[in-house]
Structures are given as C-alpha cells and as structure tokens.
Structure 1
Amino acid sequence: MTHAPPTDPPTILLVDDEVALADSLALWLERQYEVRVAYSGREALQAFDDDVDVVFLDRNLPGLPGETVLQEVRRQSTSDAPAVVMLSATPSDELSDLPADDVLTKPVTKTDIFDAVARFTADTQEVPVE
C-alpha cells in the first residue's frame, strides 16, 4: 500500500518587533500556512524548532539582534535547515555577508512575502486576493 506524502502546510516563523507589521504578515499567511509570530529575538528562538520551514527575520530587533538570531537558527538546525529571509528597513550591502537565503526591503508587499514562501517551499499556491 502506498501512502501519500504528508500534506501539512509549511510552517512560517515571523519575527519583527513592529507588532502591527508582524501581525499583518501573520494575517496574510495564516490562511494557507502554519504561522508562528515572535516580537523579539528571544521569543524567536523559543518559537523556533525543526518544524519551521521559512523564517522572516527583522534585522533590527531589541536585545538580541536579527544577525544573532540567524546564527543561532543555523546552529540549532538539524537536517533540513529552514530558509531565512531577512527583513530590513534599508537596503544594505552589509546583509550580503549574512548566511540568509534572501533579503526583503521594508515595506514588503503581500506578493513579496508569498513569493518568498513559494521559492523556499514546494508551495505553488496563488497569492490570496482579499
């Protein structure tokens, strides 16, 4: 007997200290994905585990900066490391040195977010229309 592959939706971790932005991104994504939200670097590390497929990570977080969270996520990841997309208010060449998979410049659009998820998962769903 052949079993179909699991159809669990990808798990997305959103990390941004701008509560309104993080919550807006979560509202966009939670219709199609499992979504976790963290508003600080420490919360991000508590919410992170091997089930996370994509992390959207703000660069400028209070206390524990995004770069540190990124390094810790990479260190903690076992076999399938999640894709990490850095979110930055200003485009910067400094981010090219980080082991992130992509960088999005704020303000991000719904299309930016869904395109990034699609690039790093097997998800091919259309961006939902409001």
Structure 2
Amino acid sequence: MTQSHTPDAPTVLLVDDEAALADSLALWLERRYRVRVAYSGHEALQAFDDDVDLVFLDRNLPGLSGESVLEELRRRVDPSSFDVVMLSASPGDELAALPVDDVLTKPVTKRDVFDAAARLVGDAPGAKLE
C-alpha cells in the first residue's frame, strides 16, 4: 500500500469481516491517516492500543460482535481518548443507544468515510482526497 500521510497523522483502526471492504477503506484512508486493519473482533482487540484515535467498527462481526468489541475497548481505556464509527448494514433505532460517535449505513462511500474521519479526528496536514 502506498502511504502519503504525515508522521503525525491520526491512527485509524478499520474492523470489518468483509476483507474486500476493509481493504478498500484502508486504501482510501491511508492517504490521510495511519491505518490498521482487523478482520474480526478478536483481531480488533489485538490491534487496538493507546495510539488509535478512531475506530470504524462493523456491527455484525462473526464470533465477537462489534458491540462486544466496543464494550471491551471502552473498558480498556478512557472512552474520550478515541472515537468510534459503527458500520451497520441495517440502520435501526437501537444504534442510537450505542456509545458511538457516528453510525454509517453500508454500503458506505469514500466520501462518507472521509467525512466521518475528518469530522471526528481532523485531516492530516496536506492530504488530499483523490
């Protein structure tokens, strides 16, 4: 992957069991951010640390659900130290009750993802959306 972000760019963790989607999102985001990818809830917990500024988290992960991952992440570190965007194929009122900063309904567009990231953690200096 070609990286063009600055060294002080925010770190984004993408979590989705649909590898093609996760990899596509990573390709888009790595132009502005440092990006980590996890394809399961267990991988997400391993990839998460204090450097992560933003998590794009699929709600419907096999095994360990997105909601369970979210609960564990919030338990591990101060919830105000990172933001979470829940990705869901089915929008619903119950999503409003989740302790997340935003919800995106799949299928997501490049613009949806960049807008959410920029709104929550800002843009890396000099980065351009292509």
Contact 2:57 2:85 in 1 (8 A): yes
Write the deviation string for residues 29-65 of structure 1: whole angstroms up to 9, x where unpaired: 1122100000000000000011001000000001100
- State the 1:78 CA deviation: 3.3
Unaligned runs of 5+ in 2: 1-5
Considering only CA atoms, is the larger Rg found in Structure 1 or Structure 2?
1
How many residues are treated as equivalent by the alignment?
124
Structure 1 moving runs of 4+ over 3 Å: 124-127
**Equivalent pairs: percent with the same residue?**
69
Alignment RMSD:
1.8
CA distance in 1, matches of 2:17, 2:102: 19
- The residue number in structure 1 matching 2:96 is 96
Report the Cα distance in structure 2 between the residues aligned to 1:104 and 1:97, rounded to whole angstroms: 15
Gaps in structure 1 of 5+ consecutive residues? 1-5
Matches within 5 A, 1:1-130: 8-78=8-78, 80-123=80-123, 128-129=129-130
AA matched with 1:52: V
Equivalent-residue separation in structure 1 for 2:84 and 2:55 (angstroms):
5
The TM-score with structure 2 as length reference comes to 0.88
